[in-house]
Chains A and B, each alone.
Chain A
Amino acid sequence: MTMDTPATGNTRVSKASQGNLIASAGHVNDFELTDEERHEIEHEMGHYENPRAASIGALKIVQKQRGWVSDGAVIAISDVLGIPSSDVEGVATFYSLIFRQPVGRHVILVCDSSSCFLTGHDELRDALSNELGIGLGQTTGDDRFTMLPVCCLGACDRGPALMINEDLHGPVDPGDVSALLERYT
Chain B
Amino acid sequence: MRPAYSVILLTTLIGAAQGLFAVLFGLELAGRAGLLPAPGHGFLAMGALASLGLLGAGLVASIFHLGRPARGWRAFSQWRTSWLSREILVLPGFGIAALAYAVLHGMGATTPGGAQLVAGLLGTILALALFVCTGMIYACLPFLREWHSPLTVLNYLLLGLASGSTLAAAFSAAAEPALAVATSGCALAMTLAAFAGRAGSLVRNAGLHPPSTPQSAIGVKHARVVQVTQGFTAQAYNTREFFHGRSPGVLAGVKWGFLVLAFALPAAILVAGLGRPAAGTIALAFAIQFVGLLAERWYFFAEAKHPQNLYYQCVA
Bound pair: A and B? Answer: no
